[in-house]
A and B are shown apart, each in its own frame.
Chain A
Amino acid sequence: MQTKCGVFFESYREEARLLVGGFQKTRFAAFLLVLLASPWFLNNYHVSVLILINIAVIAAVSLNILTGACGQISLGHGAFVGVGAYAAAYFSFQGVPFLPGLLLAGIVAAVAGACFGIPSLRLKGIYLAISTLAAQLILEYVFLHWEAVTGGSNGMPVDSPSVLGFVFDTDRSMFYLTLIFAVLAVLAASNVMRTRFGRAFVAIRDHHLSAEIVGVDLFRYKLVAFALSSFMAGVAGALWAHYTMYITPEPFGITLSISYLAMIIIGGLGSVQGAVFGAIFITILPEALGYLADGLSGAFPEVSSYLLAAKEGVFGLVLVLFLIFEPEGLNHRWRLFKAYWKLYPFAH
């Protein structure tokens, strides 16, 4: 573990801590306090963006376990989010309370993920990408045609979440609810990476043959990675369904899967913190472009209209620029930034 010069540990337990040292803990506590207080001084629009970020964080962190840590590329993550959303909507419709419904939604998504993860034993790289793309297409078909459960093309309404009689029907309350699950997801992902499972995932990603030689059961661990990742994706989907209160098959297409992949690439593959950065970046990007276009529309109407038209192009451009100039993602940049301030005012 990289720490400041002079920091040392006297026990493994100490070394295994997520936050090392007083400054890191204070900094994180301050960040959490600001985050918790933010809905009280931000307007509903900004709070809604934070909610979308929370949901994106859960989905991105979960994909990061599968693709970043275990090396199993998935183009079907958006569909697994959809499975969770539909499962939550269905259980809610059947009268299952919110929290058990959320858990069941995660389990249904995990089962779906594990089923579609079976080919991963024999397939790698581009072949696996195509098989997960097939999962995406098959699940989209199911969303659209299994009308008894999904409502088909008309979609289905979902109730606002309610826990012990408290209904989360405002942006502010929904923010806190999604934040709790986002924090849990980040904690879970961080801890999984430090367990036998996490180490097995990394071993499979780095060299599957060596992993097998040292006793890693490839099939089992790959399935676990798919199931775990899909479980968390299902929870993200369930939260999305309860937040929007109405779901149709449209949002869970290939575009969503690609945007999750973009999140973990831009954030930094294999890093939980990177997935969080990526989720924030990709969710805020269109909003920021909108602000930029609004800001420029007064002074440069031409530029603003070009910017609007190029919005989708900008998304692609950002992705390409990151791959070229910052292949290790925002997380790497963050590490450099911290290192700079640790050494300041010296260069090395």
Chain B
Amino acid sequence: MHSTTISRPTDVLQRAILTAALVALALFLGAATAHGETVVKIGVISDLSGPTSTVGVPYGEGVMDAVKYINESGFIPDVTIDAMQVDYAYNVQQALSAYKKFKSQGMVALQGWGSGDTEALVSFVARDEIPVISASYSAHLTDPEKAPYNFFVAADYSTQLRGALKYIKENLATTDAPKIAFIYPDNPYGLAPIAAGKEYAEELGFDIVGEENVSLKAMDATTQLLALQKAEPEFIWIGGTTPSTAVIMKDAAKLGMKATFFTDIWGADENIFKLAPEASTGNISLQTSVTYDDDSEGNTLIRKLTNDQHKMVHYIRGFASMYVMAEAIRRAAEQGDITGPAIKDALESLRDFDPLGLTPPISFFPDDHRPNMAVTLYRLEDGKFVTLGTETLERKKEWLGK
């Protein structure tokens, strides 16, 4: 097979049409910004098709819906946010490409996603002065000395665990030295809060009786649970994702274990009620935002935007994450300078900022990027999150980045 290289009249016509279309598009884009509207470009790195897409899709949807609301409501006067979303399928190399793509298109801030991409970009965003709000909540990202341009709107994994331990010790424990065990996957995410959690548990007087690894892809956790059963823990931490949590809870129910499980924000979302309806009952889910059924100004708005379609907690965190970024862009615009460093400064000027009640109030400091020290505990009951209470820890300096 071969083709001739002689231009046919149809080729010439096609080229002319394409050129005209491109010119028209350029004129249209020019006209769109001709009304004194400033277009601010932000990058959105999402996992819509990879291993974390179950939670990546609602989170990304929350971010994009927030952008839509911010633009339509005129939240930032004379500024339109242009969010460029890329599905990177949880592949670090693709995240790097996406970042470079956004950068070449004039991005000033980034909505990130997982641990792999966020950490691979730490040095890039610092060098290029691009503030990033991620959904990877590793504590070491809160230390501006190590990650000056990294932010997130939920208490970090270590703070979540510490907050839960404090609440449990003060409100749920039946003995002075309640027995506790830890189950987590042997990966960066699973390990992130363990050292901090164990240290604080000992400080509070917990008796640590066991520690087991259960993979995020586990189909069975009986072996690990049998090992723990003998130690009779009263509370067991699960640092996993909803599917692995469901496996652990169902196997524990099968073995007749009486322990109360508690999980972090990725460990038990609305899907737990489908995956382990009975086994999950009575256990605890930590959250750093409200759930869809709670009452808050933000929820009223989200219900309106989504026509009362139920949304997961990840959607709400995505929405809050974008809302906080928009507030920083708004403040930077007021100062007349919408650049990466200006948005970073604006974020660091937030003091007890309330993102429509979707998360506890948020404050960032130039030397401390922990958004807050609060974690809310929900009991899982009959397919619903039932609020137990919110624990707010002291913002201790020695906990920063650990």
A52-96 contacts to B, CB under 8 A, are: 52
Residues of B within 8 A of A244 (CB): 92, 96, 120, 123-124
Residue of A nearest to B192 (CB): A153
A144 sits at the interface (CB 8 A)? yes
Contact B123 A45 (CB under 8 A): no
Residues of A within 8 A of B104 (CB): 43-46
Which of B94, B103, B123, B192 lies in contact with A44, CB distance below 8 A?
Answer: B103
B79-114 contacts to A, CB under 8 A, are: 86-87, 89, 91-94, 96-98, 100-101, 103-105
Residues of B within 8 A of A44 (CB): 100, 103-104
Contact B187 A248 (CB under 8 A): no
Which of A144, A153, A247, A308 lies in contact with B87, CB distance below 8 A?
Answer: A308
A295 sits at the interface (CB 8 A)? no
B146 sits at the interface (CB 8 A)? yes
Evaluate whether A248 and B103 lie within 8 angstroms (CB atoms) in the complex, with A52-B96, A287-B97, A340-B2 already known. no
Q: How many residues of B contact A (CB 8 A)?
A: 37
Residues of A within 8 A of B314 (CB): none
A15-66 contacts to B, CB under 8 A, are: 43-49, 52
What is the distance, in angstroms, from A86's C-beta to the closest C-beta of chain B?
14
CA distance A311 to B50 in the complex (A): 8
What is the distance, in angstroms, from A166's C-beta to the closest C-beta of chain B?
17
A100 sits at the interface (CB 8 A)? no
Residues of A within 8 A of B189 (CB): 153
Contact B92 A250 (CB under 8 A): yes
Contact A312 B89 (CB under 8 A): yes
A225-271 contacts to B, CB under 8 A, are: 244-251, 255
Residue of B nearest to A293 (CB): B87
Q: How many residues of A contact B (CB 8 A)?
A: 39
Contact B89 A248 (CB under 8 A): no
Contact B191 A49 (CB under 8 A): no
A176-194 contacts to B, CB under 8 A, are: none
B262-277 contacts to A, CB under 8 A, are: none
Contact B186 A144 (CB under 8 A): yes
Residues of A within 8 A of B (CB): 43-49, 52, 141, 144, 152-155, 157-158, 169, 171, 244-251, 255, 283, 286-287, 290, 293, 308-312, 340, 344
Residues of B within 8 A of A (CB): 2, 48-50, 86-87, 89, 91-94, 96-98, 100-101, 103-105, 115-116, 119-124, 127, 138, 140, 146, 186-189, 191-192
Q: What are some 16 contacts across the A-B interface (CB < 8 A)?
A: A44-B103, A45-B97, A45-B101, A48-B97, A52-B97, A153-B138, A153-B187, A158-B123, A244-B92, A245-B127, A250-B187, A250-B188, A286-B97, A287-B97, A308-B48, A344-B2
